[in-house]
Amino acid sequence: MALAWADQLGEGPYWDANRQRLFRVDMRSRLVHAWTPVTGACESWKLPAAPSVAIPTLSDALVVAARDEIVLLSDNSSTVLCRPAGLGPEVVLNDGKCDPAGRLWVGSYSTTGTAAAALYRIGADGTCDQMREGLRSSNGLAWNLKADRFYHVDTPTQLVTVADFDVARGLLGQPETFVDLQDVPGVPDGIATDVAGGVWVVMFGGGQVRRYIGDGVLDRVIELPVSHPTSVAFGATDLRTLYITTSRHRLTPEAAAAQPDAGAVFAVSLGVAGTPVAIFGGSKR
């Protein structure tokens, strides 16, 4: 365990390479957290709506997906950048990440389980385009090192898909199945990629992080002492530490007592570096 915290629903980890700190959100508590592992320093910001991801910008503010808005958060003040179409009480924003050109890709999920969710592409000027529709719970997303392949999770399907990606134009090809996880305990949540072509998939409810290579071949399994990990991000100076956020909000009192580390942030040292992730509005990979 790296950070003994008790997030109700820790999500959206992002490694800030400029300041060597880890951002994450606690969706249930409406908090954005920043943690500097070297010093142990922690900062937190409370939002009026549940955040699902927070990523630094070129101006050192944060771009935050907060339920039905994309906001710029700076010095405890916020400005609405855009409001993606199709959101409302039953469809809210979920996981997101910036592509190598600094555009934010963020999905939504349907609280009723219908195919009403979507995937959006958001530019630094606030331009918002819907790139996929008919999803139920758009979740983890990541690019390979060359940024010509895009991996994506629609959690209820229990699939990780892969599509061609045109980084210059920010366009997606047709998705194909990369790995089918229907026979694996839990459901796929957050993902990250490494420079060797591996795709790290978090199994929410399954207590594992699984690395897949090639055409979806299982290469490694990290077993965790908690049942509900949520997402992953590579960090540290060499990007060889895998940070894992976790949740406790769906645990029964008995399960919570048996998993005292649920809600903490875990760190695993690896022999491979993660793919650098861009900040919002600019590429600093």
pLDDT tens string 193-205 = 999 999 999 999 9
Percentage, residues of the chain above pLDDT 90 = 93
DSSP per residue, 41-76: EEEEEE-SS-EEEEEEBTTS-EEEEETTEEEEEETT
To the nearest whole percent, how much of the chain has pLDDT over 70?
A: 98
pLDDT confidence bin for 250, thresholds 50/70/90 = confident
- pLDDT score, position 285: 44
CB 243 within 8 A of CB 63: no
146-189: pLDDT as tens digits: 999 999 999 999 999 999 999 999 999 999 999 999 999 999 99
Neighbours of 55 (CB within 10 A): 24
Average pLDDT over residues 70-88: 92
State the pLDDT at residue 5: 86
Q: How many CB atoms lie within 10 A of CB 183?
A: 6
**Confidence band of 143 (pLDDT split at 50, 70, 90):** very high
- Inter-residue contact 226 to 202 (CB < 8 Å): no
Q: Per the structure block, which two tokens stand in for 239?
A: 């990007």
Geometric angle at alpha carbon 10, from 6 and 14, rounded to 5°:
125
Q: What is the pLDDT of residues 43-60, one digit of tens each?
A: 999 999 999 999 999 888
Please tell me the distance from the alpha carbon of residue 73 to that of residue 164, in angstroms, as a whole number.
32
The pTM (predicted TM-score) of the whole model is 0.97
Cβ atoms of 114 and 104 within 8 Å: the answer is no
Distance CA 110, CA 123 (A): 24
Residue 261 to residues 79, 169, 224, 249, 266, Cα–Cα distance (Å): 35, 43, 10, 13, 9
**Whether the Cβ atoms of residue 211 and residue 169 lie closer than 8 Å to each other:** no
Residue 160 burial by Cβ neighbours in a 10 Å radius (0-12, 13-18, 19+): buried
What architecture is the 43-232 domain classified under in CATH? Answer: 6 Propeller (2.120)
Six token digits for residue 39: 């010093």
The pair of structure tokens assigned to 106 is 């963020």
Euclidean distance between CA atoms 119 and 247, whole angstroms: 24
Confidence at 238, pLDDT banded by 50, 70, 90:
very high
Q: Of 274, 262, 270, 269, nearest to 8 (Cα)?
A: 262
- Read off the pLDDT of each residue in 88-93 and give the average, rounded to a whole number: 96
Q: Residues 231-254: what's their mean pLDDT? A: 96
Average pLDDT, the chain: 96
Determine the pLDDT at residue 283. 63
According to the model, what pLDDT value does residue 4 have?
86
> What is the band of 76 on the pLDDT scale with cuts at 50, 70, 90?
low
Q: What per-residue confidence (pLDDT) applies to 282?
A: 73
Whether residue 284 has pLDDT greater than 70: no
In the block, residue with structure tokens 């997030």: 7
Tokens 């999905």, located at residue: 107
